[in-house]
Amino acid sequence: MIEEHTIIIGAGPCGLAAAISLQRIGIKPLVIEKRNIVHSISQYPTYMSFFSTAERLEIGDIPFTTANDKPTRLEALNYYRTAAQRHNVRVQPFMTVTSINKTEQGFLLNAINQYDETFQYAAKYVIVSTGYFDHPNMLGIPGEDLPKVSHFFREAHPYTGLEVAIIGGSNSSIDAALELERVGARVTIVYRGAEYSRSIKPWVRPVIEAKVEKGAIRMLFSSRVEAILNRTIEVSTPEGRQVLANDSVLALTGFHPDHDFLTAAGVTFEPEGHPSYNQDTMESNVPGIFLAGVVVSRKEDANEIFIESGRFHGDKIAAYLSARGEGQAQS
């Protein structure tokens, strides 16, 4: 049994920010991460740039400098890794917490590492700051489980010369389409919306519009993929059902937090779809379990919370615990 005062589940930007906030009041939390530090960001497209400016992504009062208008994925990985190291945040990577159980003294957490070794942790407080990249929004259509279908886009090179269908019209879908077209993929975007999404970056929209107008990228509005087959896809469009040649499908339909994990820990959910918690303290309906980051979002809208807003959740938790007299005796 490993005893800790506070355990944070998830070493994303918001989990790291919460750890730093707690350290400032004298609590030295252990951060348990099932993969690596800021794993979600490492899963972003290789050449992605953030929509937010660098200063809106900062944690721990460490300046985030970039040579560009917006920071890149690689710059963010370096920044958050450096922030964790500079603040000596205690991180246990490649350890998955499988359950949280209430005890008289606090909580008992069961966990397993990458070698299938099991561990138990006891903690007075638990902060859940898990992300959502492990839980893509599934389409529920025939053929979605074929090897040629992916819910992630990393880089365009492997798709050179292929017929690629992108499902979705969000900012990430448009960025992927433009990268794919540059390397010689033949791209079709299948989007249920009747017009371009408002989430598209303002400086990107004229580019995608020009590509579509010139026929370099095919855009199917008000359309849905109904079935995915080995060499084709079936799409319902305003003009009727179409069968399109296809080599690969990128189902970029977003992700959602793991609400089942919270439910198993006793956290309830509001009719609107988000977990029950106090917005002033971030404490859930289970006393001693706090929430930070995207995990407080509704299942159907993970984009409610971004790094630039979720990074302050730890400050609320630290203020609440400090007011309760926690931390002063911590070294």
Q: What is the pLDDT tens value at each position of the chain, 331 positions in all?
A: 999 999 999 999 999 999 999 999 999 999 999 999 999 899 888 888 887 889 999 999 999 999 888 899 999 999 999 999 999 999 999 999 999 999 999 999 999 999 999 999 999 999 999 987 677 888 999 999 999 999 999 999 999 999 999 999 988 899 999 999 999 999 999 999 999 998 888 889 999 999 999 999 999 999 999 999 999 999 999 999 999 999 999 999 887 777 889 999 999 998 888 899 999 999 999 999 999 998 888 665 555 557 888 899 999 999 999 999 998 744 3
- What distances in angstroms separate CA 316 from CA 209, 251, 287, one per listed residue? 43, 36, 15
DSSP state of 239: T
Backbone phi, then psi, for 264, in 5-degree steps? -65, -25
Q: Which of 228, 136, 227, 217 is nearest to 174 (CA)?
A: 217
d(CA 12, CA 232): 38
Per-residue pLDDT, 329: 45
The contacts of residue 133 (CB under 8 Å, 6+ apart) are 39, 40, 43, 255
Per-residue pLDDT, 301: 53
Taking only the tens place, the pLDDT of each residue in 225-255 is: 999 999 999 999 999 999 999 999 999 988 7
Which structural domains are found in the chain, ordered by start?
Answer: 2-135+255-323 (3.50.50.60), 149-251 (3.50.50.60)
DSSP state of 151: S
Structure tokens at 314: 């730890």
Q: Which of 44, 19, 53 is nearest to 33 (CA)?
A: 19
CA 280 to chain centre: 23
Q: Which amino acid is at 182?
A: R
pTM: 0.86
Per-residue pLDDT, 134: 73
DSSP state of 109: E
Per-residue pLDDT, 199: 82
In contact, 22 and 5? CB cutoff 8 Å: no
The contacts of residue 263 (CB under 8 Å, 6+ apart) are 269
Residue spans of alpha helices (H) in 149-242: 171-182, 205-214
